[in-house]
Amino acid sequence: MKVLISDNLAQVGVDVLRKAGLEVDVNTGLAPEELKKIIGEYDGLVIRSATKVTADILEMAHKLRVVGRAGIGLDNVDVPAASQKGIVVMNAPDGNATTAAEHAISMMMALSRNIPQACMSMKQGKWEKKKFMGREVTGKTFGVIGIGRIGGIAASRAQGLKMKTIAYDPHMPKEMAEKIGVELVSLEELAKRSDYISVHVPLTKETKNIVSTSFFENMKNDAMFIDCARGGVCDEEALYEALVNNKIAGAALDVFSKEPTSLENCPLLALDNFVCTPHLGASTNEAQESVALIIAEQMADYLLKGSVTNAVNVPSVSDDVLAQVGPYLKLGEMLGCMHMQIAKGGVAEVNIEYSGELAELNTSPITVAFLKGLFTPILKDAVNFVNAPIIAKERGIRIIESRSEKADDFVNTLAIKVTTNEGENTLVGTVFGRNEPRLVRLNSFRLEALPSGPMLLVFNNDVPGVIGALGTTLGRSGVNISRMTVGREEESNQNIILLSTNELVSKELLAKVEDLQDITKAQVLDLTNL
């Protein structure tokens, strides 16, 4: 079997694949058309961030069984297209966590002591000792946005520097944060209290520009901001204005909304109180060797033994089990993704009830699929079918499974209640025919909907004219409705409307929808990449 390595990979990864008996070609820097011509020869493809694995390229990959990303991010892989062709996509989500966290701390120290500026001054033949007065970090407050794996490591390093650590993470239970010595606060409070703020969240619709003008206005004038997570999480225009107008003292970015970036499209680079690096968060020898070793071992195990590890689109189950519960894996993942988006607060407990004939099968893969879906909206590529249960355990989430021989109204049902520190929601799903997942209940509302793609969930009074006004409002903004399902709650005379749209509804359009008469609440749901 043949494996193509199309991006730079540490030699240890190449060696592992060859020692396993696989034929390995290292051919980097390929243009898309060049990759299309040769991809049909290979069983495996190893990439980093440079190669774009598009649907067009996958269409020509007649033998390809697995794509392995030596790292975490999969923005350059069309995962749904790979899944449709039965190609496993795997990554190495934890291989560079320590390196990324340490880079954020390095940026903090560079800002605090003016290291880049002082270095440049000396190289220009100057000795400006008084100009570059720095500050100590000991005793200061280190604020973390996103206290997951990388954010947790960054917080621990800050604690080692005798800093107080606080964090904003609406999905982290308070008890788990306290165990690692971090105080959970609101985003506004974090901005007001922190001396240094470091971002460690993936780029999602919730986190896009989460740090913008209002955030910087709440920060202390002598505070500093650091982003080594993902471009687009920080509004770069707002950051520029905050630095120019001395709203904050300094900032450091390792990631940008457009990469590669330059002074032409990023005026931040011209500022004296701004420090930057060209996306070096994972760029250490240790991290590159770690992710290369991890992905090589995973790919060799899959190609030679059929063992699946850290796959983002395939659970680790046998063919026999997959044949029995396969359609319910997709249903479980859909319900998980939807649950996290409608939930408020950190998840504390999950109750999963398997009913009907489903109760007699091996349902553990369905539970894993649900957890993978649950964490996808907040962790994106960092969660997969292998680490989802581990993440649930690390976050202190209690998982309770039960079984019932009787399934009301359907042959089989999957009912899942998620309890947070602010309330609870119950979703019930089933599978029609051989492979048609359906949501049949949302709390007390009964309906029949396919939870997939961009969606809009609307709560409204059950009166004439609501659906018409809603359709008109969406249509005027160019949003097309592909499917619509209405669920009714008899006791309260309330409805829910679940719409599938051709694109995600913008914040501005969502506000217009919520302003419509007799609509009490509306929410955008994104189930696109399931």
Q: What pLDDT sits at residue 323? A: 74
Cα–Cα dist 523/499, whole Å: 11
Which of the four pLDDT bands, split at 50, 70 and 90, describes residue 117? very high
Cα–Cα dist 489/496, whole Å: 8
Respond yes or no: is residue 360 known to be catalytic.
no
Q: What pLDDT sits at residue 249? A: 97
Q: How many residues does the chain have?
A: 530
For residue range 119-160, list pLDDT tens digits in order. Answer: 999 999 999 999 999 999 999 999 999 999 999 999 999 999
* CA 14 to the chain's CA centroid: 29
Task: List the single range of 28-42, 43-57, 74-88, 495-509 with lowest mean pLDDT.
Answer: 74-88
Which of the four pLDDT bands, split at 50, 70 and 90, describes residue 337? very high
pLDDT higher for 510 or 384? 510
Residue 188 has pLDDT above 90, yes or no: yes
Q: Under 8 Å CB-to-CB from 207, ≥6 apart: which residues?
A: 146, 201, 230, 233
Q: Write down all domains in the chain, each with its CATH number in brackets.
A: 1-95+283-313 (3.40.50.720), 97-276 (3.40.50.720), 325-443 (3.30.1330.90), 449-530 (3.30.70.260)
Task: List the single range of 297-306, 389-398, 487-496 with lowest mean pLDDT.
Answer: 487-496
Q: What pLDDT sits at residue 239? A: 98
Can you state the angle between helices 319-342 and 364-379, rounded to 10 degrees? Answer: 40
Residue 319 has pLDDT above 70, yes or no: no
Is the Cβ–Cβ distance between 39 and 60 less than 8 Å?
A: yes
Which of the four pLDDT bands, split at 50, 70 and 90, describes residue 387? confident
Which of the four pLDDT bands, split at 50, 70 and 90, describes residue 434? confident
What average pLDDT does this structure show over 400-415? 87
The residue from 157, 279, 339, 395 that is catalytic is: 279
What average pLDDT does this structure show over 244-248? 97
> Coil, strand, or helix at residue 129?
coil
Q: What pLDDT sits at residue 293? A: 96
Which amino acid type is present at position 252? A
Residue 374 has pLDDT above 90, yes or no: yes
For residue range 211-221, list pLDDT tens digits in order. Answer: 999 999 999 99
Q: What pLDDT sits at residue 414? A: 95
Q: What pLDDT sits at residue 318? A: 62
Task: List the single range of 189-193, 255-259, 406-410, 464-468 with lowest mean pLDDT.
Answer: 406-410
Number of H helices, E strands in the chain: 17, 22
> Coil, strand, or helix at residue 212?
coil
The residue from 103, 171, 230, 441 that is catalytic is: 230
User: If we measure between CA atoms, which residue out of 149, 165, 148 comes closest to residue 108?
Assistant: 165
Look up residue 284 and give its two tokens: 């250490």
Q: What pLDDT sits at residue 316? A: 65
Longest dimension (CA), the chain: 82
Respond yes or no: is residue 259 known to be catalytic.
yes
Cα–Cα dist 12/511, whole Å: 52
- Mean pLDDT, rounded, of the chain: 93
Look up residue 1 and give its two tokens: 């079997």
Q: What pLDDT sits at residue 317? A: 64
Look up residue 313 and give its two tokens: 């689109």
Q: What is the DSSP string of 245-267?
A: TTSSSEEEES--SSSS--TTT-G
The residue from 259, 286, 357, 360 that is catalytic is: 259
Residue 370: its H or E element = helix 364-379
Beta-bridge mates of residue 217: none
Residue 265 dihedral angles phi and psi, to the nearest 5°: -110, 5
Residue 266 has pLDDT above 80, yes or no: yes
